[in-house]
Structure 1
Amino acid sequence: MKFAVFLAALAAVYCSVDAKHTPPKVLLYSRNAGEFGKDNVLICHVSDFHPPDITIQLMKDGVEIPNAEQTDLAFKANWHFHLTRNVHFTPAAGEKFSCRVTHGTKVTEHAWEPNM
């Protein structure tokens, strides 16, 4: 699988001479409705970006949450990439959860809205 990711990245670099920089679309949500004290999964899905130079961090009160898992980098026929990162968490009142995305040199932070 890593070889496939390597080939995808190599092809992207080869094609990036003619490709434009496209910023990512970011969706941050939880698997279940947000409830304080209930186990849940925080999911950050990043899509439609190019080039594939990207880092996704799931944050709690400004500190990266350990043990997050990430899918393999994948792309569509138009060389726009997508990637998902998730982590188990148990939200509590007053805590702030977010997804920090670094694409090239631009950093954006997206807040989780628990809808409670």
Structure 2
Amino acid sequence: MNAVLCFAALAAVFCAVESKTSPPKVQVYSHQPGVYGEKNTLICHVTNFHPPDITIRLLKNGEELPEAVQTDLAFKQDWHFHLTKNAAFTPENGDKYSCKVTHGQTSNEYAWDPNM
């Protein structure tokens, strides 16, 4: 009987944790309007995710940008988290910039639209 109660309690905890999983919302943009050959800052703003198990990578042509800076993990009252990561970059014609976000077991890549 104790094993059944223990199993039921574990199932309830697992279901409660699973129900609180929220995929991140991602925005990729630059500090200034994109101009080829001009220094800028690439920003990846990730919000509304839970649990906080997340990795953010800023990429140029699939390679991680050096010296990227990430904010501290912060959360709202409802325990949804948010982070921002940015890196200096100088966009050049033909280069592809993106933000790769891995949340739990799911990975997605979000492209920067230079709008040029």
**What range describes the TM-score normalised by the shorter chain of this pair?**
0.7 to 0.9
* Aligned-partner Cα distance in 2 for 1:78–1:87: 29
AA matched with 2:58: L
* Aligned-partner Cα distance in 1 for 2:58–2:18: 32
* 2:6 counterpart residue number: none
Q: Could you say what the CA RMSD is over the residues aligned between the two structures, in angstroms? A: 1.2
Instruction: Give the secondary structure class of the aligned counterpart of 2:98.
Output: strand
Q: How does 1:67-78 map to 2 (within 5 A)?
A: 67-78=67-78
Report whether the alignment pairs 1:32 with 2:35: no
Q: Deviations over 1:80-103 (max 9, x none)?
A: 000000000000000000000000
Q: Any gaps of 5 or more consecutive residues in structure 1?
A: 1-15
Deviant stretches of 4+, over 2 Å: 16-19
Q: Percent identity?
A: 60
User: What is the aligned length?
Assistant: 101
* 2:95 counterpart residue number: 95
* 2:45 counterpart residue number: 45
Larger radius of gyration: 2
| TM-score (norm. length: structure 2) | 0.84
* Aligned-partner Cα distance in 1 for 2:17–2:92: 46
* Aligned-partner Cα distance in 1 for 2:37–2:17: 49
